[in-house]
Structure 1
Amino acid sequence: MTNPAIRAIKQIYSTLYGQEAKVADYVLRHPDIAAKMTVTELAERSHVSEATVMRFSKKAGFKGFYHLKISLARQSVLKQTITDDPNLSTVVRDLFKEKVADLGWTQQVIDISVLQETLNQLKKSQMVYLFAAGNTNNLAAYASYLFNQLGVKAISTPLPEAQLNLAYQMRPTDFCLLLSDSGGTKLILDIAEICNQNRIPMVALTSQDKSPLTQLARRVLLGVHRAPSALEIAASTRLPLIAILDLLVTLLAADDSGHYVQYGSEREGNLAQYKY
């Protein structure tokens, strides 16, 4: 069965201009690869601008490139299911192997200087603001809770309107952590622009080294999922980004001053009344 995105591209191909046709040619030749790319990566591979990729996506009948990607990926997701292998223990082994590989890649590419700068900002900033969207929102809430438990004042909210309100409240004495697996979420890009305009220190946590977000954020902590997943949709998990957040929390707790671990122990004692 022909993928709906491929069908749509073929139907409008004759109406495309030269640069747009370059994008179409690449997608038609490599649909599985294009489904995993960012708009920046596809633009580079097609030798066109990001604006051309977006214009092409809309001509094909999609709201934007992300919606085109979803349609391209849908067919491969339908093809690859856990039931392809009746041996569940084999599937479990392979999936865990892939996740371990992702963590290994993340360890190799993490920028130690940016990691150190992030720790310094967490320690000295008056308030830490965490922003995320969609299914990455839970990571912002998770990190905010852990930072506060160590005595680092942090705030996050899942509501887009509330996030924008918070973004305009930030001051240069604060610190901003932007979480976006794709690096192309418009809300997060808008907040990155606000940070640049108001000179707010920021670090981006993303899984895409070539994305609109990495073009806006000078400092980036990269979480990688490069392992080819046996179940395509499993690649959308946020384990590498969670690992980076856990790393930051652990390094804060290991600070020579002992301040953060002591504060955390006291808070844990206060919370003990809610546990058996």
Structure 2
Amino acid sequence: MVGKADIAVGSDVLVVEGLGRNLGGCTILDSLDFRMPARSVFALLGPNGAGKTTTLNIVAGLDAPDAGAVRICGYDVQRQPIRARQSMAYVPDEPALYDVLSVIEYVEFVGALWGMEAADALMRAEALLVELGLAKNRDARLGTLSRGTRQKVALAGALVHEPSLLVMDEPFTGLDPIAARQIRQVLLRVVQAGASVLMSTHMMDTAQQLATHVGLLMGGRLVAVGETAQVMGLAREGAKTLEEAYVSLVGGR
């Protein structure tokens, strides 16, 4: 079975160095540098078109950079793609699921793709469904589910093999308060268990609740990056909230 990598306390689960991406003569990402320590939540914040999704796609190995490198648990995503991807999981903004499968079948299926034994995959799947409030949907076909429920199913599939790094693109968009709370609780539990979460979001209050680290992205450049409290301290006149810091550091650019 492919499982969680052994990440030493204090080490970096993700290292992004000099990341650059150009498309159609336009610079999408310009020399991005940041690191994520183990057991952290990193929120990538910025307006539409800032480069958030491109960054996540490159980290997940779905797109190739024109410059720079990404390492997950020490493995280069471009040079050692299989080892790097074994240590991570990616949940896009609009997950593509197999609509003919039931919820439990889908999570078991993802576990099998990661080489898990059938009994282990079923046990993990059942536990995740309970944790995410999906037990009542266990045998429902994915094609019949709401967007929020599908998002939770995608998260269950991403977590079944216990990745060291979970990458999520706008995980809270379109969720009702109860579903959003369930996902926040699961993410906190995952981090306490030793994993790390990299996410993009427009929801500043959620980012402030969850994120140990933030990166403010504007026009493909990181305007500010670091521990959440440190970035808030960079704002003019001292920001009391992450939203105030974001407006101060990004709003006028």
Larger Rg: 1
| Greater percentage in strand | 2
TM-score (norm 2): 0.29
Higher relative contact order (CA 8 A, sep 6+): 2
TM-score (norm 1): 0.27
| Greater percentage in helix | 1
